[in-house]
Every structure is written in C-alpha cells, then in structure tokens.
C-alpha cells in the first residue's frame, strides 16, 4: 500500500515532468537542443532549475531508498548530462553526420510526453 507521502512525491513528480515536457517541446530534436542551449547560455544554474523532477526524484530516493528509486535518479542524471554534452558538441561543431541528421528528424508528440508516465510509474513501483 502506498502512503500519503509517496502519493505526494508521485503527484509532484508528475507536475514537474509536465513542466519539463512543456518547456522542452519542439517539433524536432534539434529544436529541443536549441531550447536547452538558450537556458545553458542564459545561466547554467537556471538550466538545472528547469529540471525540477531531478530534485523530486533525488528527494524521493533519499526518503525511501531502494534500487528502483536510484534508477530514476541515474536516468535523470544521464538525461541532463547527455543534453549538456550535445549542447557542447553543437557549439564545437564536432557532431557526426548521423547526429546532425537526427536533429532534423520530427519528434512524435508521444515521445515528448513519455516521461510524464514512465518516471512516476517507476517511482510508484519503488515506493509500493
């Protein structure tokens, strides 16, 4: 049975994931990277604050522990690190032709909103 604190963490995580999907949404992957790049050059700390679900997942992990909760934190960390790496590679101009082609590919709307379902479900699984 899930307690009220877990329900609170799940609801807050859903809200944070909706926010992240909203500000990162773009028709192509390159558009997503451009939005991230804008925050990166405005202020790197602002970019980190634009990922509140990472902090919610981290607090849930610290509160509950467990392997599944740690997987969420690791996935969120790798996600942010990969985006920062891509922004850096775009600036250097050292992306492979495959990556450049991938940036112009259209994104399905479902793909931009999958995190709203995946991360809260993993959190619910880890606290149950």
Please give the Cα distance from 79 to 82 (Å, whole number).
5
List for the chain the helix, strand, coil content (%; round to 5): 80, 0, 15
Yes or no: say if 118 and 71 are a contact pair by the CB < 8 Å rule. Answer: no
Yes or no: say if 26 and 106 are a contact pair by the CB < 8 Å rule. Answer: no
pLDDT tens readout for residues 57-105: 999 999 998 888 899 999 999 999 999 999 999 999 888 888 888 899 9
Name the residue among 51, 48, 44 with its Cα closest to residue 88: 44
Asked whether the predicted pLDDT for residue 1 surpasses 80, the reply is: no
pLDDT, position 59: 95
pLDDT, position 75: 95
């Amino acid at each position: 049975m899930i307690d009220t604190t877990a329900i609170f963490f799940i609801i807050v995580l859903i809200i944070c994931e909706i926010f992240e999907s909203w500000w990162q949404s773009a028709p192509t992957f390159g558009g997503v990277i451009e939005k991230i790049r804008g925050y990166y050059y405005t202020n790197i700390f602002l970019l980190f604050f634009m990922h509140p679900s990472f902090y919610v997942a981290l607090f849930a992990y610290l509160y509950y522990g467990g392997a599944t909760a740690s997987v969420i934190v690791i996935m969120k960390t790798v996600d942010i690190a990969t985006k920062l790496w891509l922004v850096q590679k775009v600036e250097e101009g050292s992306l492979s032709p495959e990556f450049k082609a991938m940036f112009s590919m259209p994104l399905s709307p479902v793909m931009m909103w999958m995190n709203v379902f995946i991360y809260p479900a993993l959190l619910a699984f880890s606290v149950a």
